[in-house]
Amino acid sequence: MAKCALYPGSFDTLTLGHLNIVARSARLFDRLVVGVTDNPRKRPLFRRDERVEVLRGECARFPNVSVSPFDGLTITYAQSIAASVIVRGLRAVTDFEYELQIAIANHHLDPAIETLFLPSEPAFSFLSSSVVKEIARLGGDVRSFVPAAVAAALEDRFAREPDA
Ligand code: ADP
């Protein structure tokens, strides 16, 4: 049976670290769905449809990857697309406790769906959406951290709304 995985996240903003996880997961599964949601713990800079559009552009080169927005529980969405695996990236120990809590809760909700943690590529292990946004807000060059389309969108956003 074709193996489908879900890579969920808020992707606000998309970084090369996220894309590295997409590329590596796409090799492991027949089908990978990148699910774009809103994290209630974070206030997004970009609307969800903007994040979906950017991801679709960057993921177009992977034939088995699709991008979709979703609401509600990740596990419910994983069930609805028949994903048997949820992929998450781990940068450092600091990610681990939160990710482990979520993974255990998801396992409890549906033991048939496994969470797979992929360790960040060392080059991206310091890279977070919030650091990228902070650098861009202060006028720094983020082109080595994010795809060109994201760098342009950040520049445009902070030029129009410096306090966004
Ligand atoms: P969420 O708001 O759900 O945490 P994020 O967009 O911040 O979503 O992250 C989505 C996933 O990508 C998470 O599993 C996160 O650990 C992972 N991730 C974020 N940045 C990196 C990176 N630089 N390298 C590897 N994985 C990353």
Return left, alpha or beta for 3; rule: phi > 0 is left, psi -120 to 50 is alpha, else beta.
beta
Query: Which residue type occupies 62?
Result: F
Confidence band, pLDDT 50/70/90 cuts, at residue 68: very high
At 160 the pLDDT is 85
Residue located nearest, by CA, to atom 25 of ligand 1: 120
- List Cβ neighbours of 56 (8 Å cut-off, separation of 6 or more): 67
Known catalytic residues are 18, 42, 91, 129
At 39 the pLDDT is 86
At 142 the pLDDT is 96
Ligand 1 atom closest to residue 117's alpha carbon, by position in its atom list: 14
Residue located nearest, by CA, to atom 8 of ligand 1: 9
Residues, the chain? 164
Ligand 1 atom closest to residue 87's alpha carbon, by position in its atom list: 14
The whole-number average pLDDT for the span 128-154 is 95
Q: Rounded to whole angstroms, what are the CA distances from 37 to 12, 44, 81, 118? A: 10, 10, 15, 20
Q: What is the CA(18)–ligand 1 centre distance, in A?
A: 6
User: What is the CB < 6 Å shell around ligand 1?
Assistant: 9-11, 15, 17-18, 21, 39, 42, 88-89, 91, 95, 120, 124, 127-129
Q: What gap in Å lies between CA 132 and CA 113, rounded to an integer?
A: 32
Confidence band, pLDDT 50/70/90 cuts, at residue 122: very high
Confidence band, pLDDT 50/70/90 cuts, at residue 82: very high
Edge-to-edge strand ranges of the sheet holding 4-9: 65-69, 31-36, 4-9, 85-90, 114-119
**Which tokens in the block code for residue 80?**
């609805």
3-38 pLDDT, tens digit each: 999 999 999 999 999 999 999 999 999 999 999 999
